[in-house]
A = this chain, B = another copy of it.
């Protein structure tokens, strides 16, 4: 089982409008609401890969109840610790004229010390039966930047490997705690390094710096779909490859293919198994010389 930690889940609401009036009253032609946030995207991807997952994290208020109910409808197992604050929403308005979109992300609830202790206990129980942990997404406001580092320490003490995908200080401190895999995107890595990290081969594809050398995977060209969630699909594939004990070249091949298949899907964070299979054969993986 892979445990996916979602400390700041969201209810993602999307309104589709044929033509948005940015200064008036709009009546959306299509409305979609479903659980979101990076961690839940990872869990959804693993679930689609028929991997045993358990979502742990924090949920509160009516929106938290909505997130739990919708996960139940999707068949994704979850054991969320209840909090008194209200789980956040994101609103995205998609303009049918140009395909542009505006998003509005609520910050998320404050977390009481007792509430976080309750989550830690739940997390400790979940670690017992788990083959890996994914820590993904932002921390809700008020939780210290060392939160992921502390959760990595707990997992490490139980010999459970961790995949970390976050940004900023939580990434820096989490990476220092020694997770098995850290998955920043280029922008997150540059923000952490404080400098531009240009690569000779451009920004596309995946680069893995591992104990077994540096590997690069270049995905095939894919039809333009919806890139949202592609990075989360990569994180899911890396965790899956870790649990299966795939060698690094195969992990990267699957991660690049799953990311490409997800980016090709019109629905954020979803993919078709046919696209995944076809992308797998189109990924080019090679080992880079040490520099």
The chain A residues found within 8 Å of chain B, CB to CB, are 13, 15, 17, 20-28, 31, 33, 62-63, 65-66, 69-70, 86, 89, 91, 93, 100-107
Contact = CB atoms under 8 A, between A and B. Distances in A.
A26 B105 contact: yes
A15 to B, nearest CB: 5
B105 A27 contact: yes
Question: A20, A22, A70, A86: which has the most chain B beta carbons within 10 Å?
Answer: A22
Given A62-B66, A65-B62, A66-B62, A13 B105 contact: no
A84 to B, nearest CB: 13
A28 B93 CA distance: 15
Question: A15, A65, A102, A103: which has the most chain B beta carbons within 10 Å?
Answer: A102
Nearest to A100: B23
Given A62-B69, A65-B65, A89 B13 contact: yes
Contact of A62 (B20, B62, B105): B62
A95 B196 CA distance: 33
A102 B69 CA distance: 30
Contacts of A103: 24-26
B102 A20 contact: yes
A54 B17 CA distance: 36
Given A22-B22, A62-B69, A102-B22, A91 B27 contact: no
Given A13-B91, A15-B91, A91-B15, A106 B31 contact: yes
Contacts of A66: 62-63, 66
Contacts of A20: 102
Contacts of A107: 27-28, 31
Contacts of A100: 23
A66 B89 CA distance: 13
Nearest to A106: B31
Given A13-B91, A91-B13, A91-B91, A102 B24 contact: yes
Contacts of A27: 104-105, 107
B62 A106 contact: no
A22 B97 CA distance: 14
27 contacts: A15-B104, A20-B102, A22-B22, A22-B102, A23-B100, A23-B102, A24-B103, A25-B103, A25-B105, A26-B103, A26-B105, A27-B104, A27-B105, A27-B107, A28-B104, A28-B105, A28-B106, A62-B62, A62-B63, A62-B66, A62-B69, A63-B66, A65-B65, A66-B66, A91-B91, A91-B104, A93-B104
A105 to B, nearest CB: 5
Question: A17, A62, A65: which has the most chain B beta carbons within 10 Å?
Answer: A62
Contacts of A105: 25-28
